[in-house]
Structure 1
Amino acid sequence: MKRQKRDLSQRAYKRGYTAGVRGKSKDFCPTEHPDLRQQWMNGWRDGRSDNWDGIKGVSGIHVTSHLGTA
């Protein structure tokens, strides 16, 4: 049986969050689709904020584990 794909907007948010936590530039957004780009940017902003607050590495595991559940 095939697995259902995750919601594309949720995936875009999670990937943006990961890029933000890792300190990547917002110019690395991989999509041009307006809705997915907005979700990626929202995730990136949240990830950068968490990075600045020191929530990264082992201390950020609890944050990324909750991103998969909506």
Structure 2
Amino acid sequence: MKRQKRDRLERAHSRGYQAGLSGRSSEICPFQSLDARSHWLGGWRKAMEDRSVTL
């Protein structure tokens, strides 16, 4: 995988994680492409898991 693509997907994951930590809904995902959307949602899910462990 090219570095540019990987960086973009890592950034999508990170933004999804931040959205999940702040308690936002998964419906607000700003990405339309399937790859970026799935990485964003993966980050969101990870944040939700992390939040439930700490609560």
- Place the TM-score, normalised by the shorter chain, in its bin: 0.7 to 0.9
Q: CA RMSD in A?
A: 1.7
User: What TM-score comes out, normalization by structure 1 length?
Assistant: 0.67
Q: How high is the sequence identity, in percent, across the aligned residues?
A: 39
Structure-1 residue corresponding to 2:44: 44
In terms of Rg, which structure is larger?
A: 1
Greater helix percent: which structure? 2
Q: Distance in 2 between matches of 1:36 and 1:27?
A: 14
The unaligned stretches of length 5 or more in structure 2 are: none
The unaligned stretches of length 5 or more in structure 1 are: 56-70
AA aligned to 1:16 is G
User: What TM-score comes out, normalization by structure 2 length?
Assistant: 0.84
**Greater than 4 Å deviation, 4+ residue runs:** none
Q: Distance in 2 between matches of 1:53 and 1:28?
A: 23
